[in-house]
Amino acid sequence: VSEGVETFENIFDKINYTNNANQKEKYEQDLKKEIKKLQRLRDQIKTWLSSNDIKDKRALLDNRKLIE
């Protein structure tokens, strides 16, 4: 999760610093892909949180908050 958030932030910074429209469009597409990955991870974490098999859910909650 932390790698995904870091990648998202890097792409977001690239969008803000580029003036080239084509490059900006490419970065926006990459950003959309990364958002979708993070959303899938968040949904998986929600599923794990609702499961009774996992006792210590603190790390899952922290990662979910990081994504949101």
pLDDT, tens only, 19-42: 888 999 999 999 999 999 999 999
Asked if the model's pLDDT at residue 4 lies above 90, the reply is no
pLDDT at 60: 85
pLDDT at 30: 93
Q: How many domains does the chain have?
A: 1
pLDDT at 39: 92
Asked if the model's pLDDT at residue 61 lies above 90, the reply is no
10 Å CB burial of residue 28 (0-12, 13-18, 19+) is middle
Q: Quote the domain boundaries for residue 12.
A: 2-67
pLDDT at 49: 87
Name the percent of the chain lying above pLDDT 90: 40
Distance CA 16, CA 45 (A): 30
